[in-house]
Homo-oligomer: A and B are copies of this chain.
Amino acid sequence: METAILLIQCHDQQGIVARVSECIFRHGGNITDSDQYTTDPFGGWFMMRLEFAYDPEKIDVAALQTDLDELAQTLDARFSFHHGHATLRMGILVSKFDHCLEDLLYRRRSGELQVEIPWVISNHPDLEDRVRAYGIPFHHIPFTKETQDSAEQAILDVARDSTDFLVLARFMRILSTDFLDAYGKDVINIHHSFLPSFKGADPYRQAYDRGVKVIGATAHFATADLDEGPIIEQVVQRVSHKDNVNELKRKGRSLEKQALANAVLAYIQRRIIRLENKTVVF
């Protein structure tokens, strides 16, 4: 038996669940998990995630796909249908801080994150040995204000065909809107604050100066508006006056690792639907 996932997004209307589940049932699938969300039952958005088990020997996936396409058209809906053993390919961009990188590499090696990592790119050469120790190619692409255009082109040349999505694992350069447009797929960033607090540079210093009693980290989709993209996951922890900036950074590293790992796991399990500037995480 194999598992397929169907993500649905459309304007709310009567009978969506009935029609979709009937279609899967008719083709021999057994829905094992379902979650739905409606922003407003009268005129809002309808979103659904269905997981179903099927026997690849008995089910005609192409025929199911055709019927789903037709149904999507009828409902004026956006269907994303994922089946088979396709493992997502995740490119990682990193600078010098390696805690998020190491955490992702470890979780992948341990099997917790079932994802392919075709390469790691950094604007610094420092982490090459660490990455190669995991048997993963490492590309050093210098990236300064002056070389931004050519650096982004170099990243694009590597990333476009080899990845399904990118993760900025404490990549300290800001990617341009042109880059994001040209890449055209999802980019997940980890910001080391509880957004929308403390956007921009040195958020732990900002948090210290403001005297907050709780710090956080935020994994979000990168968009043209820096630190304004749809939030996927936030993790927080209590702190006190005794925590200086270095101590906030130390505690924050655990939060950053956790928030990013949770976001990546939800992403590869196809649990995330982007809706305008927000996310639904089933």
Contacts and interface: CB of A to CB of B under 8 A. Distances in A.
Given A22-B22, A106-B102, A281 B211 contact: no
Interface residues of A, number: 65
A265 to B, nearest CB: 9
A21 interface: yes
Interface in A238-282: 238, 240-242, 250, 253-254, 258, 277-281
A214 B36 CA distance: 21
A231 interface: yes
Interface stretch (A60-68, A147-155, A189-197): A189-197
A32 B38 contact: yes
B25 A18 contact: yes
Contacts of A277: 210-211
Given A195-B212, A213-B234, A280-B241, A24 B30 contact: no
Contact of A112 (B38, B53, B196, B250): B250
A157 interface: no
Contact of A241 (B28, B41, B278): B278
B38 A33 contact: yes
A71 to B, nearest CB: 13
A189 B25 CA distance: 41
Interface string A155-184: 000000000000000000000000000000
Interface in A89-120: 98-99, 102, 106, 110, 112
A53 B30 contact: no
Contact of A34 (B34, B110, B238, B250): B34
Contacts of A233: 213
Contact of A194 (B34, B102, B197, B240): B197
Contact of A210 (B38, B196, B254): B196
Interface of A: 1, 12-18, 21-22, 24-26, 28-38, 41-42, 53, 98-99, 102, 106, 110, 112, 133, 194-198, 210-214, 216, 230-236, 238, 240-242, 250, 253-254, 258, 277-281
11 contacts: A1-B42, A12-B30, A13-B30, A14-B25, A15-B21, A31-B36, A37-B242, A98-B110, A112-B250, A195-B197, A214-B216
